């Protein structure tokens, strides 16, 4: 009969109306400022710089100012100035560090290319999306002080990825320490071969990680 | 019962008494003469209608948004509370959001402060006049609606004629808006709007004519009075409870939906398909005026439907007459509006050919048959006893059989749709 479809439709919406008051499962709305949904792990907004030490973020940035990200950045929103001096990095090696590291978030398109190209795992994507600012220039231009966030924060927002990165970094540092140890041992052996009374003790490893490693096979 | 009827009497008259007292007070104070006194008397009525239905409009918009939300399992607007005058009150402000009920006032301020853009090539005068006229005519229809037993702004013998004359004049304003914008899309959609409005004007008026036949009056107040009796004191004699009245009411509902440009007949201004139809070149408060006129038109048509078919201000049961008549009227009006919102949240928009086909091939013939039905009812008022049953049976058959036949013809080849490749 003409009109029966209309009545069926009216019944459906009436059910929705009544259900919306007693069945919270029907509701799709999240009342945002008060309630928040969990952000998926792979969500990304803008880049940040990883620092090893939360107490001294500027002294322990992983970034060595190699400027690869600056060159690769498609909208060119990264501005880096190398330092004049060098500082020891996490592995104790002397490295340059970024005297200036700015990201213009009004330009950044969140493409993650800087993260892909970084050989030092020093720049990662953040999940902060409440980025409203009252001023266009200084507030949207993130300096290195505002970009630096500790590794523990990285673990917090991207747990899987951060565990993988940390595993790789530890392995690399271990290999580097072993290499250094082997080199030192070889040096010591060479020194011992000379007829001079010298200690055969190898040079102390630079970092704690290296000390824990087993003695070199050579 | 006397005490109850006494209190009812007092409330029925109270607003009118207040108005008369105010007029007398001001007459004494300002030494007004006859004409000025008459003007003051009517001015108070006009201000009351504007205030009551202005607020009614404001809260219809928020109710519509909230109801539509609920019909679609959303919450609807619930953010707008009172403004935070923290600086004025030493850091204190009212924290409750008031369920978002102050939303219409925020919308009004937004519309008022927006820039009013007039196209360079537009006919400036008509472009300005169109929203003014559309609001004026849709407000004029309120003059003849009986809101209560003693509440009728203008008591007129040809009230129905006046109502439809004023109501159809808004169509002129819509075409004015489309033409004066100097925009071909505005003009085209104004023509479409006009085609729709003219198509549905006919069934709208034809659905009302049987009531005129039966009551033999064009006065809205007398039509309401004709519905003022009860069988056993509980079954009201509203026209919607007669076969011809029920059919007329349904035709009236569909035509009223189309006349007030509401979903599923909102083709002239189909938000999700067109820019804004004839309102394309309007912005700011002029746009808000069109919006307002649309709601005023809807309210007026709902009020007319209540007056003609749903017993107007009459109580549904005799003992419920303790509640003042104007409250019954407003309650019925709100129910009608809620029903229109419910329909809007349910049905899909029609195509223009479906729209006109529904009117010319279905509603108009059905309304004409219903006219005959109403005439039959008017001629058989003396039938009683078993003849009364025959009267009802004949009246039902006369309207239901054409409905079924025409409905079948209207929907052949359209439903149900079968899908060949999709499961």
Query: Residue B3's pLDDT is what?
Result: 39
Distance in Å, alpha carbon of B202 to nearest chain A alpha carbon: 21
In this predicted structure, what is the pLDDT of residue A182? 92
Domain-embedded: residue A202:
no
A28 touches chain B (CB under 8 A): yes
Which position has the higher pLDDT, B268 or B209? B209
DSSP B123-145: -HHHHHHHHHHHHHHHHHGGGG-
Average pLDDT, chain B: 87
> Average pLDDT, stretch B327-343?
94
Please name the member of B347, B403, B411 whose beta carbon is closest to the beta carbon of A9.
B347
* Segment B320-348 mean pLDDT: 91
> Is residue A28 in some structural domain?
no
Tokens of B416: 């149900």
Cβ contact, residue pair B70, A26, below 8 Å: no
Per the CB < 8 Å rule, is B415 touching A28? Answer: no
Chain B residue with the nearest C-alpha to that of A32 = B79
Number of domains in chain A: 1
Token code pair at residue B329:
């009227």
CB A103 within 8 A of CB A122: no
pTM: 0.81
Q: Which residues pair with B230 in a beta bridge?
A: B236
CB within 8 Å: B346 and A1: no
What's the gap in Å between the CA of B79 and the closest CA on chain A? Answer: 10
Instruction: Provide the pLDDT for residue B343.
Output: 94
Alpha-carbon gap, residue B193 to B267, rounded angstroms: 7
Task: Single out the residue of B186, B187, B182 nearest to residue B122, CA to CA.
Answer: B182
Nearest residue of B to residue A20, measured between CA atoms: B73
Q: Could you identify the residue written with the tokens 């008369």?
A: B20
B407/A12 CB distance under 8 A:
no
In this complex, is the C-beta atom of A35 within 8 Å of any C-beta atom belonging to chain B? no
The pLDDT tens digits for B276-317 are: 788 888 888 899 999 899 999 999 999 999 999 998 899 888
Chain B residues with CB inside 8 Å of A17's CB?
Answer: 67, 70-71, 342
Is the ipTM higher than 0.95? The answer is no
> What is the torsional sign of CA A63, A67, A72, A75?
positive
**Residue A94 pairs with which residues in a beta bridge?**
A88
* Predicted local confidence at residue A50, as pLDDT: 93
Q: Which one of B343, B346, B410 has the shortest CB-CB distance to A2?
A: B410
Report the C-alpha gap between B423 and B420 in whole angstroms.
8
Residue A189 inside a domain? The answer is no
Query: Which one is predicted more confidently, A2 or A184?
Result: A184
Residue B15's pLDDT band, with cuts at 50, 70 and 90, is confident
Residue A122 included in any domain: yes
Question: For residues B84 and B97, what is the distance between their CA atoms, to the nearest angstrom?
Answer: 11
| Confidence at residue B68, expressed as pLDDT on a 0 to 100 scale | 92
The per-residue pLDDT for B363 is 93
Chain A residues in contact with B415 (beta carbon < 8 A): 5
CB of B69 closer than 8 Å to CB of A26: no
**Domain around A134:** 47-150
| pLDDT score of B342 | 94
Instruction: Select from A89, A78, A81, A83 the least CA-distant residue to A114.
Output: A78
Interatomic CA distance for residues B281 and B130, integer angstroms = 12
Q: How many other CB atoms are there within 10 angstroms of residue B298's CB atom?
A: 24
Nearest chain A Cα distance for residue B420, angstroms: 22
For residue A218, is pLDDT > 50?
no
Q: What is the pLDDT of residue A196?
A: 56
Question: So what's the pLDDT on residue B2?
Answer: 36
Distance CA A16, CA B345 (A): 11
What does the pLDDT read at residue B34? 80
Question: Which structure tokens are listed for B152?
Answer: 């009728």
Long-range CB pairs of A34-40, under 8 A, 24+ apart, other chains included: A39/A127, A39/A129
Helix, strand, or coil here: B147?
coil
Q: How confident is the model at residue B219 (pLDDT cuts 50, 70, 90)?
A: very high
Quote the pLDDT of residue A210: 45
A38 found inside a domain: no
Choose between B356 and B271: higher pLDDT. Answer: B356
Of B72, B411, B415, the CB nearest to A16: B72
Minimum mean pLDDT range among A15-24, A82-91, B216-225, B307-316: A82-91
Residue B414 confidence (pLDDT)? 66
CA B27 to chain centroid: 36
Q: Please determine, for residue B400, whether its predicted confidence score (pLDDT) is greater than 50.
A: yes
Q: Looking up tokens 């970084």, which residue turns up?
A: A118
Is residue B320 scored above 90 in pLDDT? no
Out of B74, B345, B404, name the one closest to residue A13 (CB): B345
d(CA B325, CA B150): 9
**Residues 6 or more apart whose Cβ sits within 8 Å of residue A74:** A109, A111, A113
At B131-162, the pLDDT tens digits run 999 999 999 999 999 998 888 888 889 999 99
DSSP label at residue B279: G
Tell me: the pLDDT tens digits for B95-104? 777 888 888 8
Residue A94 DSSP label = E
Of the two residues B96 and B165, the one the predictor is more confident about is: B165
The rounded radius of gyration (Å) of the Cα atoms in chain A is 27
The mean per-residue pLDDT over the stretch A99-122 comes to: 93
Q: Within a domain: residue A141?
A: yes
pLDDT confidence band for A163 (50 / 70 / 90): very high
Q: How close A12 gets to chain B, by Cα (Å)?
A: 8
Residue in this structure with the two tokens 């290296």, named with its chain if needed: A210
The confidence band for A106, taking pLDDT boundaries of 50, 70 and 90, is very high
For residue A167, being part of any structural domain is answered with no
Share in percent of chain A as helix, strand, coil (round to 5): 40, 15, 50
Q: What angle do CA B228, B233, B236 make, to 5 degrees?
A: 45
Q: How far is CA B369 from the centre of its chain?
A: 25
Chain A residue nearest residue B254, CA to CA? A3
Which residues in A lie closer than 8 A to residue B74 (C-beta atoms)? 20, 27-29
pLDDT over 60 at A199, yes or no:
no
Give the per-residue pLDDT at B22: 87
Of B71, B408, B411, which has the smallest distance from its Cβ to A13's Cβ?
B71
B182-213 pLDDT, tens per residue?
A: 888 889 888 888 888 888 999 999 999 999 99
Cα–Cα distance measured from residue B343 to residue A26, given in angstroms and rounded to the nearest whole number? 21
Q: Is the pLDDT of residue A215 over 80?
A: no
Which pLDDT score, from 0 to 100, does residue B35 have?
Answer: 85
Q: What is the percentage of chain A residues whose pLDDT exceeds 90?
A: 53
The token pair that represents B344 in the structure block: 């809007």
Chain B CB contacts of A9 below 8 Å: 346-347
Which residue in the block uniquely carries the two structure tokens 């104004």?
B190
Task: Tell me how far apart the alpha carbons of residues B130 and B280 are, in angstroms, rounded to a whole number.
Answer: 13
What count of other Cβ atoms lies within 10 Å of the Cβ of residue B219?
20
DSSP state of B155: -
Compare all CA atoms of chain A with the CA of B401 and give the residue at the minimum distance.
Answer: A1
With a cut of 90, say whether residue A79 has pLDDT above it.
Answer: yes
Tell me whether residue A131 is in a domain. Answer: yes
pLDDT at B423: 67
Give A170-196 pLDDT, tens digit per residue. 998 889 889 888 999 999 998 888 765
Interface contact A11, partner B, CB < 8 A: no
Of A2, A13, A21, the CB nearest to B411: A2
Estimate to the nearest angstrom the gap between the alpha carbon of B420 and the chain centroid.
Answer: 43
* Helical packing angle, B103-113 and B34-71, nearest 10°: 110
Residue B99 carries which DSSP code? Answer: G
Tokens representing A181 are 């140890």
Output the domain CATH number for residue A68. Answer: 3.30.70.3270
Return d(Cα B84, Cα B88) in angstroms, integer: 9
Q: Which of A7, A12, A14, A17 to mutate to test the interface with B (most CBs of B within 10 A)?
A: A17
């Amino acid at each position: 009969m003409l009109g029966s479809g209309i009545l069926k439709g009216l019944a459906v919406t009436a059910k929705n109306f009544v259900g919306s008051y007693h069945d919270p499962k029907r509701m799709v709305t999240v009342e945002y400022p008060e309630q928040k949904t969990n952000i998926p792990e792979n969500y990304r907004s803008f880049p940040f710089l990883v620092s090893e030490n939360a107490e001294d973020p500027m002294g322990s940035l992983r970034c060595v100012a190699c400027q690869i990200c600056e060159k690769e950045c498609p909208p060119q929103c990264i501005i880096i100035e190398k330092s004049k001096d060098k500082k020891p990095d996490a592995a104790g090696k002397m490295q340059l560090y970024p005297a200036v590291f700015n990201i213009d978030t009004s330009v950044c398109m969140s493409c993650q290319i800087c993260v892909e190209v970084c050989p030092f795992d020093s720049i990662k994507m953040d999940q902060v999306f409440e980025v409203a600012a009252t001023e266009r220039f200084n507030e949207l231009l993130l300096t290195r002080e505002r970009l630096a966030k500790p590794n523990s924060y990285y673990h917090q927002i991207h747990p899987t990825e951060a565990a993988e990165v940390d595993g790789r970094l530890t392995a690399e540092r271990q290999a580097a320490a072993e290499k250094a140890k082997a080199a030192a041992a070889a040096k010591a052996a060479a020194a011992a071969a000379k007829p001079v009374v010298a200690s055969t003790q190898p040079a102390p490893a630079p970092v704690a990680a290296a000390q824990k490693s087993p003695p070199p096979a050579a | 019962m006397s005490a109850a009827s006494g209190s009812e009497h007092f409330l029925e008259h109270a607003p009118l008494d207040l108005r008369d007292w105010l007029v007398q007070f001001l007459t004494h104070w300002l030494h007004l003469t006859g004409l000025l006194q008459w003007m003051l008397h009517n001015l108070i009525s006009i201000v009351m209608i504007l205030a009551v239905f202005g607020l009614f409009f404001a809260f219809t918009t928020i109710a519509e948004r909230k109801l539509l939300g609920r019909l679609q399992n959303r919450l609807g607007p619930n953010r707008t509370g009172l403004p935070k005058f923290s600086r004025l009150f030493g850091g204190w402000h009212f924290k409750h959001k008031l369920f978002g009920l102050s939303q219409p006032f925020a919308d009004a301020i937004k519309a008022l402060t927006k820039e009013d853009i007039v196209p360079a090539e537009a006919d400036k005068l008509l472009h300005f006049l169109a929203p003014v006229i559309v609001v004026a005519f849709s407000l004029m229809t309120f003059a003849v609606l009986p809101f209560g037993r003693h509440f009728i702004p203008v008591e007129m013998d040809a009230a129905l004629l006046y109502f439809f004359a004023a109501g159809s004049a808004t169509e002129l304003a819509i075409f004015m808006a489309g033409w004066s914008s100097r925009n071909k899309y505005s003009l085209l959609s104004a023509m479409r709007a006009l085609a729709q409005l003219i198509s549905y004007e006919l069934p709208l008026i034809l659905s009302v004519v049987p009531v005129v036949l039966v009551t033999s009056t064009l006065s809205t107040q007398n039509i309401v009075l004709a519905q003022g009796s009860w069988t056993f004191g509980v079954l009201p004699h509203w026209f919607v409870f007669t076969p011809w009245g029920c059919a007329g009411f349904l035709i009236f509902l569909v035509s009223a939906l189309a006349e007030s440009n509401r979903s599923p007949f909102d083709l002239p201004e189909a938000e999700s398909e067109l820019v804004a139809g004839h309102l394309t070149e309007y912005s700011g408060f002029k746009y808000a005026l069109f919006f307002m006129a649309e709601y005023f038109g809807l309210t007026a048509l709902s009020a007319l439907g209540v007056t003609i078919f749903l017993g107007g201000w009459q109580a549904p049961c005799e003992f419920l007459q303790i509640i003042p008549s104007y409250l019954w009227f407003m309650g019925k009006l709100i129910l009608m509006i809620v029903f229109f919102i419910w329909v809007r949240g349910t049905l899909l928009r029609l195509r223009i050919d479906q729209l006109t086909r529904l009117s010319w091939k279905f509603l108009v013939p059905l309304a004409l048959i219903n006219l005959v039905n109403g005439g039959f009812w008017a001629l058989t008022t003396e039938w009683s006893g078993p003849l009364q049953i025959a009267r009802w049976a004949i009246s039902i058959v006369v309207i239901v059989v054409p409905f079924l036949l025409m409905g079948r013809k209207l929907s052949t080849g359209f439903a149900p749709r079968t899908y060949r490749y999709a499961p």
